[in-house]
Amino acid sequence: MNKTTSSSDRHTPSGVPFSQVRDLLLPSFRKHRLRLLAGIASLFLVDLLQLIVPRIIKHGVDGLEALTITTAGLFRLGLMVLGIASVVVVLRFAWRYLIIGFSRLLEQAIRNRIFSHILKMDAAFFERRTTGDLMAHSSNDLAAVQMACGMGLVAAADSLVMCVAAIGFMIAIHPLLTLYALLPMPFLAVSTRILSGKLHRRFAKVQEQFSDITEFSRSNLISIGLIKAYTMENFQTARFDRLGRKYLKSNLRVAAIQGLISPIATLVGSMGMLMVLYFGGSLVIDGTITLGDFVAFISYLYMLIWPMMAIGWVANLVQRGLTSLGRIHNLVNSRAILPDPVLAEEPAKLNQPGFRLNNLTFTYPTSRSPALRDITLTLGPGIHGVTGRTGSGKSTLCRLLARLYPIEDGMLLFGDHDVNHLPLHFIRSHIGYVSQEPVLFSDTIAANIALGRQDALRGDVIRAAEAAAIHDDILALKNGYDTKIGERGVKLSGGQRQRLALARALLCDRPVLIVDDGLSAVDVATEHEVFAGLKRHFSGKTVLIVSNRIKLLSMTDHIIILANGVVESEGGHDLLLATNSLYRAMYIKQMKQDNEPEDAPS
Ligand SMILES: Nc1ncnc2c1ncn2[C@@H]1O[C@H](COP(=O)(O)OP(=O)(O)OP(=O)(O)O)[C@@H](O)[C@H]1O
Ligand SMILES: [Mg+2]
């Protein structure tokens, strides 16, 4: 939801006002403020303790120069340095644990927000965004935000304290010498800024190429049968090699930049050192500063190298973090095309589970021409068969009834209510939907069947499986209902997957069942068995079955024939056989096929 933004509002590099992306961060910053404060306090303490060390060394050197210090005194100074180092160990651990931990907590909160938002989106949303795009949001963009709020925050706070304090101590020793010594430092900040920007771009390329390699391996492995059948092994290996070479080249380009950063820092440090040795040395000779001051000064100069590099690095981290945050903001604020009606009233009870469609026309958001045109239908209690050539709009009709797409042109009534005025979850909770390509999770068979009813007992699951004629197949598996189905359910046949999805819908036992071609991969005998089960199970309810099998259609109460997105005919089997040429042609063809095996000589 867009908030009004004033013209003075600053924008992130991705064009989103800063005041809006802040909303993604603030809850976590507020919730974990104590942790964050403790972390930053530890960080400051570490810095301050480190700044004391050169003072101690100064003491030792001055004492040595004036021969006023004893070996016991030097030992005490050494013990102080050791003591400080020990405290630094504890505090360093504390700030890392607290601040980096905070950035991980923040990352988790944003990741959950992205995930829960994506799950609420409608089918149209997923047509506009690719899976790869969505995955990138939850990996690369999140990583950039986490880096900016973790190491970026640490480096910013650290370099601020170190710069201010070290420069302060240096000025206290000699202001003009400080100016000379610092002259080369801006060069370091600018060069790290440029180099880390380059490094990031090159590294992004490495990641991109790595995901190409992963995707290539994945797609080859899952279609290994195809590769062997077409004897593509060598060809694919050569393509893999080309991808690998590109990846290697990009990695070397990253290494080249990484190899530059540290020598440049040393170079700039040495330039500062040249200034200090030359000007500072003459100040010691003059007696303006002591030898101890001189040594301490050099220590402070070296302490400045990391913060100066950090300034350039942090600038990049923050810029990248803000760009990613802007993209995440756009994602979590994208709205479904199919909004839940505001103030929709949930009817206490559904009188008539069924649909009425009045002059309904539907065009997919990504398409120009309508997939369904001017559909007027009544789907009351009973079993309705839907048939038609491929692409005629059968699945589209099922998706609209299952409320997966918005109804904008024409009217769809569910019971007595216009669906546009009903809460989405109300309609969906009354419908069992088996899509054309059944989707199974990598989980046990029982868990897959119980997806819509987590509270279902094993007995309920078995009854649903029996009604879907899949029970015997499940028992034939080694672990029965506890068998895990692999990625994408590979251990099951197409027909078994369909019946499993049907069992899942049956277990939910909702007043409406929509089965989109859910029995196309099962043999005729099983189809009969399932249909008989459905008939028993769904008396008085509304069932819609998409099928091109005349035998199945002939058992339904009412058949709809779709052609090019319009209802060509509807009615009972006998009527359509007499009046519809497509239906008759299908009938004759299928009867012939069914009779062929019996007619064939054995
Ligand atoms: N998600 C989509 N976005 C855009 N167009 C689509 C989409 N899904 C289907 N279509 C188009 O809508 C038309 C109807 O498709 P639909 O899937 O409803 O046909 P179908 O009758 O179920 O076909 P089949 O028998 O092959 O399953 C087709 O022209 C198809 O190309
Ligand atoms: Mg279809």
pLDDT at 3: 40
pLDDT at 5: 40
Provide the pLDDT for residue 40.
Answer: 92
**Closest CA to ligand 1's atom 3:** 364
Q: Domain 439-509 is classified in which CATH homologous superfamily?
A: P-loop containing nucleotide triphosphate hydrolases (3.40.50.300)
- Looking from the CA of residue 367, the nearest atom of ligand 1 is 4
Q: Per-residue DSSP letters for 532-596?
A: HHHHHHTTTSEEEEE---HHHHHTSSEEEEEETTEEEEEE-HHHHHHH-HHHHHHHHHHHHHHHH
Q: What CATH architecture applies to the domain 380-430+511-602?
A: 3-Layer(aba) Sandwich (3.40)
Q: Which residues pair with 86 in a beta bridge?
A: none
Residue with tokens 């069932």: 543
What are the residues whose beta carbons fall under 8 Å from the beta carbon of 408, sequence distance 6 or more? 362
Alpha helices in 394-493 (DSSP H): 394-401, 424-428, 445-449, 458-467, 471-476
Task: Give the binding-site residues of ligand 1, using a 6 Å CB cut-off.
Answer: 127, 364, 366-367, 371, 388, 390-396, 436, 517
What pLDDT does residue 186 have?
87
Buried b (16+ CB within 10 A) or exposed e, 442-471: eebbbbbbbbeeeebeeebbbbbbbbbbbb
Assigned CATH topology for domain 11-173+321-336 = ABC transporter transmembrane region fold (1.20.1560)
Low-confidence stretches of the chain (pLDDT beneath 70): 1-15, 339, 341-351, 487-490, 596-602
CA of 403 to the centre of ligand 1 (A): 16
Hey, which of 130, 366, 396 would you mutate to test ligand 1's pocket, going by the most ligand atoms within 8 Å of its Cβ?
396
Mutate to test the pocket of ligand 1, among 386, 389, 392 (most ligand atoms within 8 A of CB): 392
**383-435 pLDDT per residue, tens:** 999 999 889 999 999 999 988 888 888 888 888 888 888 888 888 888 889 88
Residue with the smallest CA separation from ligand 1 atom 7 is 364
Distance between Cα 266 and ligand 2 center (Å): 66
Are the C-beta atoms of 458 and 507 separated by less than 8 Å?
Answer: no
Segment 110-118 long-range contacts (CB within 8 Å, at least 24 positions apart):
110/24, 110/28, 110/142, 110/145, 110/328, 111/138, 111/142, 113/24, 113/332, 114/138, 114/142, 114/328, 114/331, 114/332, 117/331, 117/332, 117/334, 118/331
Position 601 scores a pLDDT of 43
Distance of CA 527 from the midpoint of ligand 1 (Å) = 24
* pLDDT for position 534: 82
Atom of ligand 1 nearest to the CA of 548: 25
Residues having C-beta closer than 5 Å to ion ligand 2: 394-395, 436
Spatial distance between the Cα atoms of 590 and 491, rounded to a whole number of angstroms:
30
Buried b (16+ CB within 10 A) or exposed e, 294-304: bbbbbbbbebb
- Cα 163 to its chain centre, rounded Å, is 39
131 CA → ligand 2 middle, Å = 22
Query: What confidence score (pLDDT) does residue 10 get?
Result: 67
Cα-to-centroid distance, 434 and ligand 2 (Å)? 12
Q: Tell me the one-letter amino acid at 406.
A: P
